């Protein structure tokens, strides 16, 4: 699967490189003979696209390196660095096109458009749109942010070429030069696209929240396991596209033996790996009181205190030992709540005030997944 993905990325990138080099050569020749700086800039953009595809190939190859002692989780995150570099190239192309357009607005130049110029521009636009759709589709299929970014770059170049073509037609028909103004407008669109790609690349490198559907589906699958009463604190660390390693807490009855818990843990790990490709390297256990019915009343009472406050998303891992006078549970407070630490302290004081003879432990958990 991994080799197939790598081959798809490399093959798609090679097609993109070849297409962009050919387009660049034709546009450069046409630009020189027609004295159109816009067409020459368009040719340079094609070279930039070829460069971004080359970066994609290099990044994919490096990301596919086998894990070693220094990097035991592999090199998958290099692809996020690749996406970052490509987004910078898109941003650079947009800024360069904008500067050149402003120069032409201040110092207009008369271009000499011919039929062959228009034909080559039209063919270039068609090729770019087809290439954009093809590369984006392949990128989404193999979940390659770098390919998706390259596809967006190709789409942006097609827009630039359209601006040059439209400007040429308007000039030929009405003798009015709008090339620079249209180019400036589309440059702003490309700059915006580059910023969005840059933001997405940075988000991936920093780490973002687990997709809601994936989180809920994994927890739902865990709850199918016999004896599991709850699944909480699912944490997944992304080490490249579709490469997740993580941990989760499950609630089990306090009557189960270590041997039974071990079998449950192994079964969950196996099922989640097979169905989602996610490796749960740690499965923590919350014990549920079943030996003393009085603990159920205490739990209800504590839940009432906790959920009387706004912003409480969850309370779990509740356990009471009446004989030893210990009580522990976790709470999750919404990130939108200001002064989360103050709210935590308030809840702690209220529960402690009601159960002053208990050794109380409340953990303020983080809202990491749905």
pLDDT at residue 1 is higher than 60: no
Helices and strands of the chain, counted as H and E runs: 10, 6
Task: Delimit the CATH 3.30.70.1350 region(s) of the chain.
Answer: 212-365
Query: 323-344, pLDDT tens digit by residue?
Result: 899 999 999 999 999 989 999 9
pLDDT at residue 37 is higher than 70: no
**Following DSSP, what letter does each residue of 34-67 receive, concatenated?**
HT-HHHHHHHHHHHHHHHHHHHHHHHHHHHTSPP
Task: Delimit the CATH 1.20.1510.10 region(s) of the chain.
Answer: 2-206
pLDDT at 352: 96
* 238 token code pair: 């992304």
Stronger pLDDT, 282 or 40, i.e. the higher one? 282
Query: 59-110, pLDDT tens digit by residue?
Result: 888 888 888 889 888 888 888 888 888 888 878 888 887 888 888 888 876 6
User: pTM score, two decimals?
Assistant: 0.70
* Sign of the CA dihedral with 145 first, then 150, 156, and 158 last: negative
Stronger pLDDT, 38 or 251, i.e. the higher one? 251
**Following DSSP, what letter does each residue of 161-198 receive, concatenated?**
HHHHHHHHHHHHHH----HHHHHHHHHHHHHHHHHHHH
- Lowest pLDDT segment from 129-138, 196-205, 266-275, 280-289: 196-205
**CATH architecture type of domain 2-206:** Up-down Bundle (1.20)
Q: Measure the CA–CA gap between 20 and 22, rounded to whole angstroms.
A: 5
The highest-confidence range among 111-120, 142-151, 174-183, 358-367, by mean pLDDT, is 358-367
Per CATH, the number for 212-365 is 3.30.70.1350
Paired sense of beta strands 244-253 and 230-238, if any:
antiparallel
Q: Give me the chain's average pLDDT, please.
A: 86
């Amino acid at each position: 699967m991994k080799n197939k993905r790598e081959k798809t990325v490399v093959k798609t990138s090679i097609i993109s490189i070849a297409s962009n080099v050919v387009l660049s050569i034709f546009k450069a020749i046409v630009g020189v003979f027609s004295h159109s700086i816009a067409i020459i800039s368009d040719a340079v953009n094609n070279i930039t696209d070829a460069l971004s595809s080359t970066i994609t190939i290099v990044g994919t190859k490096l990301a596919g390196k086998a894990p070693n002692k220094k990097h035991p989780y592999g090199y998958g995150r290099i692809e996020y660095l690749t996406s970052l570099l490509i987004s910078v190239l898109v941003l650079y192309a947009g800024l360069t096109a904008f500067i050149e357009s402003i120069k032409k607005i201040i110092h207009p130049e008369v271009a000499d458009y011919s039929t062959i110029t228009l034909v080559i521009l039209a063919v270039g636009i068609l090729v770019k749109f087809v290439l954009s759709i093809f590369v984006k589709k392949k990128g989404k299929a193999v979940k390659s942010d770098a390919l998706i970014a390259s596809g967006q770059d190709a789409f942006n170049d097609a827009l630039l070429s359209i601006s040059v073509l439209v400007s040429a037609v308007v000039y030929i028909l009405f003798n009015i030069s709008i090339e620079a103004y249209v180019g400036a407008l589309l440059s702003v669109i490309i700059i915006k696209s580059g910023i969005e790609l840059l933001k997405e690349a940075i988000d991936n490198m920093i780490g973002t929240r687990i997709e809601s559907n994936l989180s809920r589906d994994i927890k739902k699958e865990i709850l199918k396991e016999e004896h599991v009463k709850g699944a909480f604190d699912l944490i997944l660390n992304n080490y490249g596209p579709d490469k997740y390693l993580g941990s989760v807490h499950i609630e089990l009855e306090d009557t189960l033996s270590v041997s039974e818990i071990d079998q449950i843990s192994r079964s969950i790990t196996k099922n989640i790996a097979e169905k989602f490709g996610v490796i749960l390297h740690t499965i923590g256990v919350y014990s549920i009181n079943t030996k003393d019915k009085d603990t159920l009343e205490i739990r209800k009472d504590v839940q009432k205190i906790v959920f009387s406050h706004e912003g409480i998303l969850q309370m779990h891992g509740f356990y009471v030992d009446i004989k030893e006078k210990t009580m522990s549970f976790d709470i999750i407070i919404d990130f939108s709540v200001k002064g989360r630490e103050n709210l935590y302290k308030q809840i702690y004081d209220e529960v402690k005030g009601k159960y002053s003879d208990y050794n109380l432990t409340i953990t303020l958990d983080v809202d990491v997944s749905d």
